[in-house]
A and B are shown apart, each in its own frame.
Chain A
Amino acid sequence: MNRIEKVFQNLKQNNEKAFVPYIMAGDGGLETLAEKITFLEKAGATAIEIGIPFSDPVADGPVIQQAGIRALEAGTTLRGVLAAIAEIRPIVHIPLIFMTYMNPIMAYGIGNFISDASASGVDGLILPDLPAEEEEIIAPIAEKAGIEIIRLVTLTSPLERIQEIAAKGKGFLYAVTVNGITGARKGFKDELGKHLERVKEVSPIPVLAGFGISEPEHVKEMNQHCDGVIVGSRIIELLQSGELAKVEELIASSKIEEIKL
């Protein structure tokens, strides 16, 4: 069983919610990656999404764009990140999931990338520019190597499509909470809770909400309707400004049991 499946099985048994932070590999130099990962694991992260910088990240807002530019300026490459992950994998127990765009992987060579990622201990892949229509270019090879493709569904995806997409995966389903790109939002559509519940109803795998989530209140709100959250831009900002206590607080907000009326 893949590490991602195992982690979610445990959460379910303990009736807990997932918290998956996103960091940009190489932001602040690749040598800081291990430190960030161990800090987040210790703070209670369920899994970590590791961004691989790409020059043209069309699904990302300003914060992640800037983090990507910093990482590229620091000389970060996919090859370098894979080596760093291989080194740290033995002491990290939670799943590590790469998030990047198709092109860096294609330049590396899809087959080579999957075998190197698998050898380094990468557990999953999130590819925001790879909809179901194109996934056969990589999904079968990845899944054969034990790397889960984490698929995205959005507010514009019809329910039948969500059902089809959810049925393909074994890890978790990434429910995008806004029409738009990554980056902190003040609020969400009123119908979001209902949408997440509908997604959960048709999904055989856990559903995590992501995009725009930045405050403990958002985390608690989302967690009432799904199995956990993914937080990106806010984590990057807090790590950048050194506000580690706030990162811990944000992660902790997902652990507090909601008193249901």
Chain B
Amino acid sequence: MNAAYTLPDERGHYGTYGGRYVPETLMQAILELEEEYKKAQADEGFQKELQGLLKDYVGRETPLYFAENLTKQAGGAKIYLKREDLNHTGAHKINNSLGQALLAQRMGKRKIVAETGAGQHGVATATACALLNLECIIFMGEEDIRRQQLNVFRMELLGAKVVGVQSGSATLKDAVNEALRYWVTNVEDTHYILGSVMGPHPFPMIVRDFQSVIGNETREQYLEKEGKLPDAVVACIGGGSNSMGMFYPFIKDETVRMIGVEAAGLGTDTEKHAASLTKGTPGVLHGALMYLLQDEHGQIQEAHSISAGLDYPGVGPEHSYLKDSGRAEYESITDEEALEALQLLCKLEGIIPALESSHAVAYALKLAPQMKKDEGLVICLSGRGDKDVETVRARLGGKGQ
């Protein structure tokens, strides 16, 4: 990759990926969003307000923590954790939700719709709406509602209305469908806070930019601690927002390997996985051209992962581009491996990671031993595992191994 990485182009394309494949009814809203976003970027007042909230409300910057015990266990490169789990609401999602809620406020839209999978984006969005006094409606698959009961209650406590979605696999993909349908119907007074680097342009760009605070901080912190750049950054991939936020500030630093970790579910040789980049093919879903899990007739397939936040059959257009260009690498980790990594991090470092983030931890544990001791890698610890304790307990039969 060269110093001139300027994607997306003015039509919102990343190579052939991305774009704006949406009903005409939404075109004005996304054109307006793009305009307003440009203005907000250039507006010092807006940037200051966002920075202020990120610092005093979210608790940024988050630490870059040297995981010494984990490093010893892996026996290779130094392992650092970027502690997005320490953000207010427990994950990186708040970086984007707050930014977009401020944008909605600028546009005079006082109603917010959002989708959620694990419930983390829903909680973050409900939180931002409570803070800024915006009305909030969240669509969530019934299957995810079952898996993430506590987050449903959290959203309601924060004043959001949670609407269950029964169609399809009743998970994140179906929640996005329903949120899009709601937005088409209420577009005149409602902003859609999309939760990952997906959907029609300008969403993948806006979400990436708001999440880039992760990579920007990591870069500075790592330079300060080690006097050089990390040799690799590793992040899990659902739609691809925590990873894109980590990768983007390193995209021009060719010595830094960028590794995205998808959910292999029961294994990529089974039908039960969510590895869109590893096993999928390009197609159009939810407003963008991107890698998808689909059958030969172009029908979208159900994704599977133990972690609700990775349970999505697509991956953002910029990742699709970075895969084809070879700048980023994509690997996958099974449910079992993620569960093991989760327990290991608990035992060795006293940190309970989200199941999503555990996928990145698991891959880093494979990677570190292949690297030299004087090299270093950073794991994006995208969220904390409190929301997953029940799922993990059920899986482990009540006792940590």
Contact = CB atoms under 8 A, between A and B. Distances in A.
Contacts of A108: 297-298
B367 interface: no
Interface residues of B, number: 38
A102 interface: yes
A134 B29 CA distance: 16
A104 B297 contact: yes
Given A55-B300, A56-B168, A106-B283, A153 B188 contact: no
Interface string B266-290: 0000000000000001111111000
A104 B298 contact: yes
B188 A56 contact: no
A179 interface: yes
Chain A CB count within 10 A is highest, among B173, B184, B282, for: B184
A73 to B, nearest CB: 11
Interface string A128-144: 11111110000000000
Interface stretch (A7-15, A34-42, A155-163, A253-261): A155-163
Q: Is the interface of B mostly helix, strand, loop or mixed?
A: mixed
Contacts of B297: 77-79, 104, 107-108
A134 B185 contact: no
A158 B27 CA distance: 10
Contacts of B186: 179
B185 A129 contact: no
B299 A176 contact: no
Contacts, number: 114
B25 A179 contact: yes
Given A56-B173, A56-B300, A156-B187, A102 B21 contact: yes
Contact of A58 (B286, B292, B295): B286
B11 interface: yes
A180 B296 CA distance: 30
B19 interface: yes
A193 to B, nearest CB: 19
B351 to A, nearest CB: 37
B294 interface: yes
A155 B23 CA distance: 12
Contacts of B29: 156
Contacts of A179: 25, 184-188
A134 B294 contact: no
B296 A58 contact: no
B28 interface: yes
Contacts of A134: 19-21
B24 A176 contact: yes
A127 B167 CA distance: 22
B397 to A, nearest CB: 36
Contacts of A128: 23-24
Interface in A15-67: 54-59, 61, 65
Chain B CB count within 10 A is highest, among A77, A79, A156, A161, for: A156
Nearest to A105: B298
Interface in B196-225: none
B187 to A, nearest CB: 6
Contact of B298 (A106, A133, A152, A154): A106
B22 interface: yes
A240 interface: no
B34 to A, nearest CB: 11
A224 interface: no
Contacts of B281: 107
B177 interface: yes
A181 interface: yes
Contact of A103 (B20, B177, B181, B283): B283
B24 A154 contact: yes
A72 interface: yes
A203 B306 CA distance: 52
Contacts of A180: 25, 181, 184-185
Given A72-B299, A180-B185, A131 B284 contact: no
B27 A156 contact: yes
A98 interface: no
Nearest to B27: A131
A172 interface: no
Chain A CB count within 10 A is highest, among B24, B167, B294, B296, for: B24
B20 A131 contact: yes
Given A55-B168, A58-B177, A156-B29, A131 B185 contact: no
B180 interface: yes
Contacts of A65: 167
A54 B298 contact: yes
Interface string A202-217: 0000000000000000
A58 B26 CA distance: 12
Contacts of A72: 299
Contacts of B25: 154-156, 176, 179-180
Contact of B24 (A54, A157, A181): A157
Contact of A131 (B22, B295, B299): B22
Contacts of B22: 129, 131
Given A65-B167, A157-B27, A179-B25, A129 B284 contact: yes
B188 to A, nearest CB: 7
Contacts of A161: 27
B182 to A, nearest CB: 9
Interface string B121-139: 0000000000000000000
Interface in B1-51: 11, 19-29
Ranked nearest first, the 6 interchain pairs of A and B with the lowest CB-CB distance are A107-B298, A180-B185, A104-B298, A102-B284, A154-B25, A55-B299
22 contacts: A55-B299, A56-B177, A56-B286, A58-B177, A58-B181, A59-B23, A59-B181, A78-B298, A102-B283, A104-B299, A106-B282, A106-B284, A107-B281, A107-B295, A128-B24, A131-B20, A134-B19, A152-B24, A154-B23, A158-B28, A176-B24, A180-B184
Interface of A: 54-59, 61, 65, 72, 77-79, 101-108, 128-134, 152-158, 161, 176, 179-181
